[in-house]
Amino acid sequence: MEISATQVKELREKTGAGMMDCKKALAETSGDFDKAIEYLRKKGIASAAKKAGRATKEGAVSAYIHGEGKVGVMVEVNCETDFVARTEQFKQFVKDVSMHIAAANPAYVRSEDVPAEVIAKEKEIAVAQMAASGKPAAVLEKIAEGKIKKFYEDTCLLNQLFVKDPNKTIEQLLKETIAALGENIMIRRFSRFVLGEGAKEATEEASQ
């Protein structure tokens, strides 16, 4: 099947993948656009895994202000070279991540960042909630694991569904960007500020 330049261009604009990768994806999927996107996502995941161990010392620290100054986000995203850090696609990725953090309010970057005592407490709460159900311990353990998975999806940035495209997680967006730019990229850290947050507690402490 012959793949047109228009098809390739459209797929490239949708995924950010290279022209040759887009053409190959369309050829492999007989021109099916949705299957071609899925093909590139799978390929992106594989490509990202190969680059995961490479050093990331360049990148950007970016600030994003939302809601007329009510919410602010600072995020550090690293890549391998200054060349990639200056590309529009990298800058857009950083902006998208900042906007997502402002909207979704994650507490951690990745699941590995969650302290063990926090996970233990969440698991304890989950088991206590189901204690009266009469289910076997093994079943309760499985249900608790499912609740922990949901906890990660709610609180860890990489596990959250991307607010601009709920069909993918932030981790999938990251891997697609890695595949498109050809460098390892890491979301290193972020801070989120909400106007007035903690002001009451600070006032109470000061009055004591």
Choices 3.40.50.2300, 3.30.479.20, 3.90.1310.10, 3.40.720.10: CATH for 58-110+156-202: 3.30.479.20
Torsion angle in degrees (nearest 10) through CA of 108, 112, 118, 119: 130
User: In this model, does residue 185 exceed pLDDT 70?
Assistant: yes
pLDDT tens per residue across span 7-29: 888 887 776 666 777 888 899 89
Higher pLDDT, 15 or 46: 15
Specify the DSSP element, H or E, that contains 192. strand 186-194
Backbone angles phi, psi at 206, to 5 degrees: -70, -30
- Tally of CB atoms within 10 A around 10: 15
R_g over Cα of the chain: 21
The CA-CA-CA angle for residues 190, 162, 181, to 5°, reads: 75
- What is the rounded CA–CA span in Å between residue 36 and residue 115? 39
CATH code that applies to domain 5-51:
1.10.8.10
Give the CA count within 13 Å in the CB-facing half-sphere of 110: 8
Tens-digit pLDDT profile for residues 83-121: 999 999 999 999 999 999 999 999 999 999 999 999 989
Which CATH class, in words, describes the domain spanning 115-154?
mainly alpha
pLDDT digits (tens, 9 = 90+) for 122-172: 888 887 877 767 777 777 778 888 889 999 999 999 999 999 999 999 999
Residue ranges of domains in the chain: 5-51, 58-110+156-202, 115-154
